Chain A
Amino acid sequence: MALVTPSANTYTAFGLAISSDLSLPELAVDLNPESVVDQVSITSSTKEDWPELNPSEHSTPTVQMTPNDWRLELEGIGWFRVHQGRSIYWQRWDDSVSDRDLRTFLVGSALGALMIQRGSLMLHATALVRDGKAVLLLGAPASGKSTLAWCLHQQGWRLLSSELTLIDRQGMVWPGMQQLKLWHAAAMELDLDWKQMPVVRKGLQRFSLMPTDLSTSNQPAPLAVIYGITRRGKEDDKDQEEEGLRILAWPVLRQQAALLQIRNQAFQPRFYRGMEQEQQLFLHAAALVRSVGLHRLQLPDDVKRMQIALKYANLLDPISLVPKQSEPESESLSKAEK
């Protein structure tokens, strides 16, 4: 079992107290130890000390997995090991690798793998809170979750968890990583002073908004709505009048379709298979579909139009976003459902 050393940095994410020998500013500082479910550790290690694995057939040359052991070899960055849902070990590739390089993958892939080992439902999603209720923005990397999250944040929502999000069996969404990563193009469109913003990693045109830059929430919140994000195409936008560019939502009525989408938006589905957690994922996702359901959220492609449209949209009330029956789903939305 991992030991929490007094000298380590301690953070909270996904209900865990995380003791780390690396500074992890992407996570909330552990302010409320009483609400912590368990403790885990992140420590440097020597990969030669890690036991040989007999990896699952779901492993790849980069990711090796058994039910309780997960390894990532990321050339040029480092080696990572996650063991028994309690310990994360890392080794730097060489001295040129910065702490920032390491922690990008520690709080992403490694922490996600740890939560999957613990039997949790982790989704590729960003969660925000308003009036004590959480909405989940579901989408693959590069689907625009962070841009939408930033726009909502500017309108008073608080960030709960970004990129990967934990939903427990009671339907509570837990605080997780609280960093928004914005591409240069999005930062420009949002009129942010990107020259003053730190980059996610050296060499990337992707900027980082840390918990200290954001209004965040550090309490679990009940999940009110799940949205699968779709952007209208530029051509669709051009065809419509200004007043037509509003935020629209459609309930995904077929439970099978909703389940499939949620399962497909699990954080790294291959990890579930490789660590023999796929059945848990399926059961958990099915329960979520029954209790909360899924809506498709259609956004204008243009960020400025999206910002305007969001002012008139209440995302906690998806029914108010459903178009009248006479309005068909746009072409791009129909395609997305295929």
Chain B
Amino acid sequence: MQKRWPCFIFVLITMMVLSFGGCTSSSDDYSPYYPETGTIELNNYSDVTIDRFYLAPVHQTSWGRNILRDVLYPGESTLIVDIESGYYDAKIAVTGLYSDYFGYLYDINMRHGRDVVLDVYNSSFTGSLEIYNNTVGAHIVGVYVVPAGSPTWGHNQTTSYIYPAEVLHLSDLSPGFYDIRIVWNVGPDSYYDDVKIKSLTLKTIDVD
């Protein structure tokens, strides 16, 4: 009778091991499914056609390629699927009749399986500014454009001289009021205060 105990204990341990194995397998089969990717719904509620859409992880230094397969007309929506978990920055771009305009979103949280809705309105876009040299003989050596009320003039927005009848076209300005200073090769500087920049609008100033 005593010799049967080791055999019994061996059978008991074997059954327990098999039972644990079965439990693990069963647990895997019924564990909830957490998808690794999320979806973005992009809604164009603006009156312009969105030409490009960029999505980059927050620490990436470049926007990468445009991920829109087709342009997004006013009133249209599109889904961008299979976006890996993480934080993203997004940019939209419009090529209008007069200029390019942009809209931005930062630190979009794409958690596991999360669906995020991104809306675009007319006011989501930047505006543009043109400086036209309307003189006959003077050229512009400096263009300074800063938000109205700023204490300093910032840095020169032009990298080259603007000669008579030439234009400096600046895009990607946030809507608002700006102070502008034009520096000429001869004569006193020109100042324009409280110039209003609007979304999806090109403002042209003929300076002389």
A, B: real partners: no
